[in-house]
Structure 1
Amino acid sequence: MEPEVSALIGASRQVVRRAAAAVFAVSLLAAGCGEGDSAQPGGNAEVRVLMDWFPNPDHVGLYTAQDKGFFTAANLNVTLTPPSNPADPLKLVAAKQVELGISYEPDVLMAAEQDLPLVAVAALVPVALNSLMAVGTSPVKSPGDLAGKTVGTAGLPSDDVYLKQIAAKHGVDLNSVKKVNVSSNLVAAMLSGQVDATIGAYRNIEGVQLAQEGKQPFIVPVTDAGVPEYNELVLVANRDRLRDDAGYRDAVKRFVAALGKGVAAAQGEPSFATTSISKVATGYDAAVIEKMVAATLPLLRNPRGFGRMDPAKWQSFADWLHTEGMVKRPIDAGPLVTNDYVPAE
C-alpha cells in the first residue's frame, strides 16, 4: 500500500470513528446512565449530550461554545460524549438515559416507526454533507457518468436509496451500476481504484482530505444530485420529558441558545474554533483540521436563523422515505420537529 494511501486511511473520518468507538464506549458510563434529576427552571442543570460520533469539525460549534464558557454561563454542566454506536443517541435519549443526542434527520424520521418519543429541537448542520465523490483519476466526473461504473457505499440503507434517486434523476440505469459495500473504507476504495465513486463520504471531511492530498476530487452533495433537502445533523430531545418536565424544557432551551452563540463565535473566530476542535479531534493533521473547519463553517450558516428547521421540508423528506420504501408506513413529521427551543429570530 502506498504511504499516502495509508495516511489517508488512517485519518479517514469513518475509520477513526470506528476505531475510537471502543475507546469512548466507557465514557457514557462515566457520565452516568440513569435519568437525571429534574432541574428547576433557570437553575443549574446537568446536560449529557450523546454525539453522533467522535469529535470532528462537524461539532466545531459545540466545542467552541464549551471553550468560550457559554454553557457554564447558562448554568449548564455539559458533558459531550461520543457513542459506541451511531444508533445510540436516539435510543438513549428515548430511554431518558441522556438529556440530548446528536443524530441525522433521516434517522429521526425513520425512528418514528418505533414510536420513540423523540423530537429534533435544532439543526446543528442544516445542509447535507453526504456526497457523491470520486478522485480525479476516476472516469466519474458527473452523476450521469455512473452508468456502468462501480460505486462504493458504507452499507447504510440510506446510501442505497440515495444512489437509486441519483441514478433516476440523471438517467442512469441502476442495473448497470455495480454497488460495493466498502464499509468504512470509502477513501481507501477510491484511492486504490476498487470503486469509481462513493456515496457516504462527507464533503467537508473526506473531500477536504482528498483535496489536501492533491487528489482533485469530484464532489457533489447528494442533495445537489437529486436527493431531497434535509438537515444532516440535528439536536434531539425526549418529547415526553419536554411535555412533562419544566426544568428539562428550560435546560434544553438554554443549551440551544448557548450552542447558537458557539456557532456564531466559531464563524467569527475561525482560529479559536480550529484550536477548540483540534484538542479533541484525534487522527487528523493540524493543517487538514484547519481546512476542514474552513470548509465546515459556511455550511453551518442557516438563512432561517440558527437551529431553525423547515417542518414542510421534513414532511417532504418523510414522504420521500416512504415512497422509496425506507419506511413501511407514512410518517407524520409534525411531532418530530420543532423550532420552539431555538432563539427568536
Structure 2
Amino acid sequence: MRKKWIMPAIAAVLMLFSTASAAEKLTLMLDWFPNVDHLPIYVARDRGLFEMAGIDVRIVSPSETADALKLAVSGQVDLAVSYQPQTVIAAAEGMDVIAVGRLIEHPLTTLLFLKGKGIEAPPDLSGKRIGYTVPGLMDVMLHAFASLNGVRDYTSVNVGFAVLQSLAAGRVDAVMGPFKTYETVEMAHRGYDVGYFELEKYGIPDYDELIFVCSRNTLNLKEKAVKGFIRAVDVAIGQVRSNPERAFQEYLKAVPEANPETEADAFRLTLPYFAANQNHDPLRWQAFADFALQYKLIGKPVNGASLLRNFDE
C-alpha cells in the first residue's frame, strides 16, 4: 500500500519546492472544531508536505462559528477554512475575500431534526423554532430554504456549536448547518434517530462546501506560501484517497480528543467528497451568486470569477 502513494507524492513534493523558496509562517483557522473534514490538512502537516513547501503552518480553531472568514479578511490569520456561500455573502457585503483552494467539493449541509417529532417534509417546520450554526451564513441559508420549500412563521435561533445539545433538550425543533457526514453520525452514536433535508435536493444549487480563503492583501504578500499550502493539501488529499486507513490513524494521533468510532464512520462518509482538484469553477460560483441574489441572500450582484484564484492556470 505504501508504494501507491510514495511515488506520486515524491513527484508532487518536488513541484512544491518551486512554489515557496523560504520557510514562511502561515496561520490557518478552521471553520469548526477539528474533525475528519480537516483530515487532509493534518496529513499534509504531519507527513512534512508543508515543510517541504517551505511553510510552517499553525492550525487554530475558532472561538465562534463565524470567526474564521472575518479573521482572515482582517489579516489576523493568514488563511481560513470557510464555505462558498459565506464567501459570496461576504463579498456582497464588501469584504475583501478571495477563495484560493478547495477541501470539500459538494454540499454537506443539512437541515437536521429528530425523527418522531412530526417532521416529514419541509412545510412541517412551519411555526417551529429552527436553529442555525453559523451567523451570517446558515441563518441566511435557512431563509432561502424556507422560501423555496414553504416553511412559514418559523423562529430562528443561533445555536453555534451546540447542535446536539439544542436538539436533545428541545430548545429547537431542527438545525440548519449540520453536515450529513458528521453530526448525523455523532447523534446516531449517542442514540438519537435523526432525519435531515439535504439542501441540494431542495432547491439550493451545488457548491463547494469547504474552501480555503484569505484576504487579497495576504495573497499579495504571501502568494508563494499560499500556493505552496494549497498544493500540499492537494497532494495530501491524493494520499488520503490512496490509503485511507493509514491517513485516518495519523489523524487520530494528531487529534487525540477525537472519538475513534464516531470519526471512523464520519470519515467513510466524507472521503468521497474531498476535492478532486484545486480548481474553482467560475460558472458554478456564478450560478450560486445569481441564486443568492434572486433569493435575497445578498443585496447586490457578485461577480463569482472575481473571487477566485486558481494557481494551476
Query: Which residue of the partner structure matches residue 120 of structure 1?
Result: 99
Residue number in structure 2 paired with 1:336: 307
Which residue among 278, 294, 297 is the counterpart of 1:323? Answer: 294
Distance 1:279 1:108, change over 3 A: same
Describe the SS at the equivalent of 1:132.
strand
Distance 1:141 1:205 in 2: 21
1:185 aligns with 2:162: yes
Of 258, 262, 278 in structure 2, the residue corresponding to residue 288 of structure 1 is 262
- What TM-score, normalized to structure 2? 0.82
> Percent identity over the alignment?
29
User: In the alignment, what sits opposite 2:233?
Assistant: 259
Q: How does 1:212-251 map to 2 (within 5 A)?
A: 212-243=189-220, 245=221, 248-251=222-225
Number of the residue aligned with 2:281: 310
> Match for residue 12 of structure 1?
none
Report the Cα distance in structure 1 between the residues aligned to 2:127 and 2:62, rounded to whole angstroms: 38
In structure 2, distance between residues paired with 1:237 and 1:159: 20
Whole-Å Cα distance in 2 between the matches of residues 102 and 234 of structure 1? 6
Following superposition of structure 1 onto structure 2, how do residues 1-345 of structure 1 map, counting pairs within 5 Å?
Answer: 41-147=20-126, 149-154=128-133, 156-170=135-149, 172-175=150-153, 177-243=154-220, 245=221, 248-281=222-255, 283-300=257-274, 302=275, 305-339=276-310, 341-342=311-312
1:313-337 CA-to-partner distances (Å, cap 9, x unmatched) read 2222223333333333222222211
| Cα distance in 2 between the residues matched to 1:151 and 1:116 | 28
* SS of 2:206 mapped into structure 1: coil
TM-score by length of structure 1 reads 0.75
The verdict on how the C-alpha distance between 1:270 and 1:112 changes in structure 2, with shifts beyond 3 A counting, is: same
Taking only aligned residues, the RMSD between alpha carbons, in angstroms, comes to 2.8
Deviations 1:152-182 (A, max 9, x none): 3347343333333333433x2513x454444
The question of whether the paired residues in 1 share the 8 Å contact of 2:65 and 2:135 is answered with no
C-alpha contact 1:64 1:272 (8 A) present in aligned 2: no
Unaligned runs of 5+ in 1: 1-39
| CA offset digits 1:141-162 (Å, max 9, x no partner) | 3335434554333473433333
Contact (CA 8 Å) 2:124, 2:151: kept in 1 or not?
no
Tell which deviates more after alignment, 56-65 or 275-284: 275-284
Distance in 2 between the 1:112 and 1:165 partners? 18
Contact residue 204 and residue 292 of structure 1 kept, 8 A = yes
State the distance in 2 between where 1:268 and 1:55 align.
22
> Tell me, what secondary structure is at the counterpart of 1:119?
strand
Deviation at 1:258, TM superposition (A): 0.9
- The gaps in structure 2 that reach 5 residues or longer are 1-18
2: CA distance between counterparts of 1:129 and 1:334? 23
Secondary structure, counterpart of 1:223 in structure 2: helix
